[in-house]
């Protein structure tokens, strides 16, 4: 089975603050921008919607309003939160992380650790770190956050790694690690930004 990460450069506090804000203007703007994508989501999850899951736009409404939520359909609210991150953030290059096989993220984390980069882990994007009061999905998607401070610390660790250590990595893994360094540099260049990732 193949997996993928969707990654966004965005202020974590900003997007968490939209959850439960009741901001109708935000909801209308997102509904307009993502009209086609929301319709595609509804087609993809048609069976689940037929079983009672809310359509994508209604899930987005619930997330912005702070509820009500149906625990058994937590995945829909998680994907709605991803749309909020996409609306306010910038997509990061995920070419080394979509698609990938089980175990790949662990290999990349091992390589980061070999370089002395311990402030961040890509496996953290498989967690379920969704802001309250969103219910946590039992399975997919996963979600994790690298804070501004995490990214700054990890960038310093990366810059301290010697060229020999980097060159010793497997080429495929090195490419993935170098793409992570790119995310960290972009975060450093944008005050308040972190990296938010979604695993599915």
| pLDDT tens digits, 77-111 | 999 999 999 999 999 999 999 999 999 999 999 99
| pLDDT tens digits, 105-147 | 999 999 999 999 999 999 999 999 999 999 999 989 999 999 9
DSSP 128-153: B-PPTTSPPPSSSPEEEEE-HHHHHH
Output the pTM of the full model.
0.95
CA torsion sign for 37, 38, 39, 43 is: positive
Q: Cα 162 to chain center, whole Å?
A: 29
Asked whether 157 and 106 are in contact (CB, 8 A), the reply is no
């Amino acid at each position: 089975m193949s997996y993928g990460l969707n990654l966004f450069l965005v202020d974590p506090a900003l997007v968490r603050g939209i959850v439960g804000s009741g901001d109708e203007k935000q909801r209308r703007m997102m509904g307009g921008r993502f009209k086609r994508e929301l319709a595609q989501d509804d087609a993809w999850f048609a069976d689940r919607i037929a079983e009672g899951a809310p359509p994508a736009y209604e899930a987005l409404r619930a997330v912005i309003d702070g509820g009500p939520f149906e625990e058994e359909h937590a995945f829909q609210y998680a994907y709605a939160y991803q749309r909020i991150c996409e609306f306010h953030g910038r997509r990061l290059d995920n070419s080394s992380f979509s698609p990938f096989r089980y175990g790949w993220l662990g290999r990349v984390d091992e390589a980061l650790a070999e370089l002395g980069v311990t402030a961040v882990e890509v496996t953290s994007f498989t967690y379920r770190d969704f802001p309250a009061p969103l219910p946590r999905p039992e399975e997919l998607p996963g979600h994790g956050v690298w804070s501004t401070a995490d990214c700054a610390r990890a960038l310093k660790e990366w810059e301290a790694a010697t060229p020999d250590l980097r060159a010793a990595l497997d080429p495929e893994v090195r490419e993935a690690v170098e793409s992570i360094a790119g995310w960290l540099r972009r975060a450093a260049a944008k005050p308040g930004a972190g990296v938010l990732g979604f695993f599915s």
